Amino acid sequence: MAKTPEEMLVEARKLIGAETKPVQGRYPVEYDPIRRYCHMTDDINPLFLDPEYAKKTKHREVVCPPLMVANFAGPGIWPPATDLPALPPVITPGDRNINLTTEYEFLKPVKVGDRLSVKSRIADIYIKAIRLDPKAFWTETERIITNQNGDVVAKTRNTGLRHRTPEQVKAAGDA
């Protein structure tokens, strides 16, 4: 018999506190991913796009947009890396994801050529109802991102949830 969401939560909460070692990003901070990142929002800031312009600023090099920093640390965002250390998977009743709250603290600018690493930790797991699923699983994770000198450049905390489809909720008798 399949486990109930409450039984799955008991197992999932054993993962609170699990953390990774610092994992270096696959590649250094690079020009072209920054260009594509800016292109999606029509951001034409030359500090992010023009090496000659950036050379004349106090930064001396193209800067990574602040909210893109995590993309260059650890496994990256897609496709999921299977060959780098990662947090253990949280087993949940549903498989549909929604991201909710993101918090960043930035301590140093990140520039092209930097090598970033990330250490991740599961901070909390709990059940909280949403419109689509009365027993959605919420997970809070924390990340500390460092550069090649060991300096902390950013700290993040993210809250996301995983929910069931309406059909799955109905089939489980939770509608």
Partner 1 sequence: MERKQVYWDDVKVGQEIPGYTLKIDWTRQVKQVSGSQDFYAVHHDPDFARAAGHPQPFVNTGFMQGCFSRLMTDWVGDEGFVRKFRMEMRKMNFVPNDKTGTPGDTMSMKGRVTEKYIKDGEHYVEADVWAENEREGVTTPSKCTLILPVRG
Binding site for partner 1 (CB under 8 A): 33, 36-43, 45-48, 50, 53, 57-59, 65-68, 71, 76-79, 96-106, 109, 131-132, 163, 165-167
Peptide bond into 75 cis (omega under 30): no
Query: Least distance to partner 1 from the beta carbon of 7, Å?
Result: 24
Minimum distance of partner 1 from residue 19's CB (angstroms):
22
- Measured from the CB atom, is 96 or 115 closer to partner 1? 96
Cβ nearer to partner 1, comparing 13 with 28: 28
CA-based torsion, 150, 152, 157, 158: positive or negative: negative
Question: 34 with 68: CB under 8 angstroms?
Answer: yes
Q: What are the tokens at 82?
A: 């299977």
Shortest Cβ 47–partner 1 spacing (Å): 5
Half-sphere exposure of 59 (CA within 13 A, CB side): 20
In the complex, what is the shortest distance from the CB of residue 10 to partner 1, in angstroms, rounded to a whole number? 26
**C-alpha span between 107 and 151 (Å, rounded):** 9
Residue 45 vs 148, nearer CB to partner 1: 45
Q: How many helices (H) and strands (E) does the chain have?
A: 5, 5
Closer CB to partner 1, residue 125 or residue 153?
153
Query: What SS3 class is residue 174?
Result: coil
Residue 74 Cβ vs partner 1, minimum distance, rounded to whole Å: 13
Task: For residue 4, count other CB atoms closer than 10 A to its CB.
Answer: 13
Cβ-based nearer residue to partner 1, 1 or 40: 40
Residue of 69, 42, 36 whose CA lies nearest to 155: 69
